[in-house]
């Protein structure tokens, strides 16, 4: 099960949000039967990919390495459950961007977190400033 919605209207302090829907698959669970912690990042990255597609910024795939990842796990998710993952741009810096995300099952919040990515040109050893056209797309409301 996969679906997605996109919105320019987001929580205060954020811009550009996307919500995707996933089902907890057997491969997403661990030996205890609930979701494996790593699936949360995979779902956040799937939401990021959808957001970048919607913004016409597919060229950023492979050019924005993760430099920080933080998550608070609040509820267990079980095989077969349907979850919604909402991801929004929380901060756009000179060379980096912070996403915030929430994973929900129904009205329960299963996880909240953030991911910081940096822009890296293919030939650069370090992060470099966002190109003007990319910054304009990411800042547009």
Q: For the domain that residue 135 is a member of, what is the CATH number?
A: 3.10.129.10
Please give the tally of structural domains in the chain: 1
Q: What is the pLDDT along the chain (141 residues), one digit of tens a residue?
A: 555 554 544 455 567 899 999 999 999 999 999 999 999 999 999 999 999 999 999 999 889 999 999 999 999 999 999 999 999 999 999 999 999 999 999 999 999 999 999 999 777 789 999 999 999 999 985
Give the integer Cα–Cα distance in Å for 90 and 84. 18
**Domain containing residue 8:** 3-139
- State pTM to two decimals: 0.87
């Amino acid at each position: 099960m996969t679906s997605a919605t996109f919105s320019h209207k987001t929580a205060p302090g954020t811009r550009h949000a996307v919500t995707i829907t996933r089902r907890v698959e057997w491969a997403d669970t661990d030996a205890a039967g609930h979701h494996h912690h790593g699936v949360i990042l995979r779902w956040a990255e799937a939401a990021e990919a959808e957001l970048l597609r919607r913004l016409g910024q597919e060229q950023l795939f492979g050019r924005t390495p993760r430099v920080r990842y933080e998550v608070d796990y609040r509820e267990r998710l079980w095989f077969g459950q349907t979850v919604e993952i909402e991801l929004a741009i929380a901060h756009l810096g000179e060379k980096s961007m912070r996403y915030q995300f929430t994973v929900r099952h129904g009205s329960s919040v299963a996880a909240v977190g953030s991911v910081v990515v940096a822009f890296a040109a293919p030939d650069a050893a370090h992060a470099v400033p966002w190109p003007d056209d990319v910054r304009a797309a990411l800042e547009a409301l």
